[in-house]
């Protein structure tokens, strides 16, 4: 087993300030099959500790209670970690590790955000946007060629409802004054009406059918809805610091969706249900016990039909090695069916497609009008931050260590303040910084844990790449900020001798670099002052 994989599997890093730098659990080795599962654990620990050799990196190995304790050469630790910040380009720390070199690289297409046209961008869309942006940033950081796609919900029965609803409740004057707000109000009204009025549902079906048949009046109204929505979305994305390489949508794949239906039919995969709908049999026994509907009885396509067409088109256009969909968990079955049908059609690359789900934002129902719009959230957040900052005449933030070190202080604001504080420290001591430094000045109990934590950066990126979850990086950065807080308090630069100041400044500079890089991957732009 390669050494880096061995470490990743069995080492449990702990900041044991008194006795050891990290420990190896005998129980973990037994569970993994490296050691026999029977016998006295303590004897196994003592026997293994006696056989492990000391070298220039590991100064001491000893047996503890069911564990083996290791103490590293701390001077070498300081030198190697901090020297790398001087040798590598900004943002490259940890990215050349053997562990990350085991990851497969190529072209990654990430579909995220994907709000619905004619609806205001609400807080529920934010989760897909932020998580998808994180995944795209992470993949790009790790060396992948990343394609960022916003696949707009700009087709489907919802436009039948909106088109029919606009004819009854809409007003062109109101649409000019406050376009998305008026469309939202129309959408709420038509959904109320549909619950009690079957004629309205028939009108909605008729409007969508006209859209699919490219009726000029229906298409013109749809285009008007789409253009005003995209304009507002781009304004919101600019505020969030999010960009896309491609804006696509369901409407792009109308004709291709019909071709998919024909292909399914020619392959013998398309069946007709008792209701007259077109379905694909997903059951193992092929007894129609589990089906996916791909065609309505009136011949119009569905969301999954257009998704099938979109996936095939993307593979042909972009030749991706993997495709990642970021949506809420309610669509899990949809994507299971999508990948199943693609494989049944002979598209083996569907095995490299993945759905990354996230929890729903509860308490929001667009059809009933129970929704919190994102712009309102952003405006309120900005107003509150400005109000808090204006309470101080100097516009400075009063840094309270006790409050910052509380668990409830673990927020994005904490990351920003820590970064701004480090940047200020480095700027104020610009004349002190030096290429060379003496690592023996950084052997204190508060500096070593920072360095040990920085060494975990590649492992955290590896974990993040494996499950595409931002939690690993978030926790790593928050822990780093707590460690920096202690080091900043106990290792002053100002007032120290030049050698000591240079060493400490190198530590804080390296920590700031990793903090900034991690924040950028999360989609947070580090600020230099607050």
Out of 125, 423, 472, 488, the active site residue is 125
Cβ(418)–Cβ(424) below 8 Å:
no
Out of 119, 120, 253, 423, the active site residue is 119
- Does the annotation count 235 as an active-site position? no
Q: Tokens standing for 35?
A: 């050691």
The helix/strand/coil state of 208 is: helix
Cβ(156)–Cβ(254) below 8 Å:
no
Cβ(369)–Cβ(191) below 8 Å:
no
**Torsion 386-391-392-396 (CA) sign:** negative
Out of 122, 139, 182, 472, the active site residue is 122
- Does the annotation count 263 as an active-site position? no
- Does the annotation count 347 as an active-site position? no
Q: Crossing angle for the helix pair 447-454 and 74-87, nearest 10 degrees?
A: 60
Instruction: Compute CA distances 357 → 75, 148, 403, 457, 529, whole Å.
Output: 44, 17, 34, 25, 35
| C-alpha closest to that of 461 among 101, 185, 40, 173 | 101
**Torsion 273-278-284-290 (CA) sign:** negative
Query: 147-168 burial, b for 16+ CB within 10 Å, e for fewer?
Result: bbbbbbbbbbbbbbbbbbbbee
* CA 293 centroid distance within chain: 31
Spatial neighbors of 129 by CB under 8 A, at least 6 apart, are 112, 113, 237, 240, 242
Distance CA 329, CA 322 (A): 20
Q: Which residues are catalytic?
A: 119, 122, 125
């Amino acid at each position: 087993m390669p050494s880096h994989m061995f470490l990743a599997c069995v080492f449990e890093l702990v900041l044991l300030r008194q006795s050891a730098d990290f420990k190896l659990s005998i129980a973990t080795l037994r569970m993994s099959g490296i050691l026999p599962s029977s016998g006295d654990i303590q004897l196994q620990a003592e026997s293994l500790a006696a056989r492990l050799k000391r070298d220039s990196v590991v100064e001491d190995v000893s047996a503890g209670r069911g564990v083996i304790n290791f103490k590293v050469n701390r001077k070498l630790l300081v030198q190697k970690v901090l020297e790398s910040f001087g040798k590598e380009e900004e943002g490259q720390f940890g990215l050349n590790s053997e562990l990350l070199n085991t990851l497969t690289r190529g072209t990654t297409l990430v579909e995220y955000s994907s709000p619905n046209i004619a609806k205001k961008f609400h807080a529920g869309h934010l989760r897909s946007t932020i998580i998808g942006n994180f995944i795209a940033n992470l993949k790009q950081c790790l060396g992948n060629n990343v394609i960022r796609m916003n696949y707009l919900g700009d087709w489907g029965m919802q436009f039948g409802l909106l088109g029919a609803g606009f004819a009854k409740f809409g007003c062109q004057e109101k649409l000019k004054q406050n376009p998305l707000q008026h469309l939202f109000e129309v959408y709420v009204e038509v959904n109320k009406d549909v619950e009690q009025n079957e004629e309205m549902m028939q009108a909605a079906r008729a409007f969508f059918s006209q859209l699919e048949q490219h009726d000029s009046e229906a298409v013109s109204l749809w285009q008007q809805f789409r253009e005003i929505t995209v304009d507002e979305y781009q304004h919101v994305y600019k505020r969030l610091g999010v960009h896309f390489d491609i804006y696509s949508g369901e409407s792009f794949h109308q004709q291709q969706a019909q071709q998919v239906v024909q292909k399914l039919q020619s392959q013998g995969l398309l069946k007709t249900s008792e209701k007259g709908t077109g379905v694909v049999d997903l059951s193992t026994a092929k007894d129609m016990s589990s089906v996916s509907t791909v065609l309505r009885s009136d011949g119009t396509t569905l969301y999954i039909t257009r998704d099938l067409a979109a996936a095939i088109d993307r593979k042909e256009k972009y030749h991706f090695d993997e495709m990642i969909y970021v949506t809420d968990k309610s669509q899990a079955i949809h994507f299971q069916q999508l990948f199943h049908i693609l494989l049944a059609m002979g598209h083996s690359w569907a095995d490299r497609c993945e759905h990354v789900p996230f929890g729903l934002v509860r308490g929001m129902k667009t059809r009933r009008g129970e929704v919190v719009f994102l712009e309102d959230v952003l405006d309120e957040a900005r107003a509150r931050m400005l109000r808090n900052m204006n309470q101080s005449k100097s516009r400075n933030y009063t840094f309270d260590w006790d409050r910052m070190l509380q668990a409830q202080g673990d927020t994005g604001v904490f990351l920003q303040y820590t970064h701004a504080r480090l940047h200020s420290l480095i700027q104020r001591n610009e004349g002190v910084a030096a290429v060379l430094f003496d690592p023996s000045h950084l052997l204190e109990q508060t500096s070593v844990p920072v360095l040990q934590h920085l060494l975990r950066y590649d492992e955290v990126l590896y974990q993040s790449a494996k499950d595409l979850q931002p939690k690993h990086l978030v926790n790593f950065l928050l822990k780093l900020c707590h460690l920096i807080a202690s080091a900043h308090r106990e290792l002053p630069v100002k007032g120290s001798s030049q050698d000591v100041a240079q060493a400490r400044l190198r530590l804080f500079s390296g920590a700031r670099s990793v903090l900034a890089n991690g924040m950028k991957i999360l989609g947070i732009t580090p600020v230099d002052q607050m």
